[in-house]
Amino acid sequence: MNESPYAQAWADYRKRRKITWLVPAALLLVSLEADKLSPQAPLVLFVSSFVLYFPLNRWYEAWRCPQCGRRFVETRNAAGGSECAGCGLAKWAADHTPERAQPGATI
3-state secondary structure of 75: strand
Least distance from Zn ion to the Cβ atom of residue 68, Å: 3
Residue 81 and residue 30: Cα distance in Å, rounded?
Answer: 35
* Geometric angle at alpha carbon 42, from 61 and 29, rounded to 5°: 55
**Which positions lie near Zn ion, rule CB under 5 A?**
65, 67-68, 84, 86-87, 89
Nearer CB in complex with Zn ion: 53/91? 91
Nearer CB in complex with Zn ion: 27/72? 72
Nearer CB in complex with Zn ion: 34/87? 87
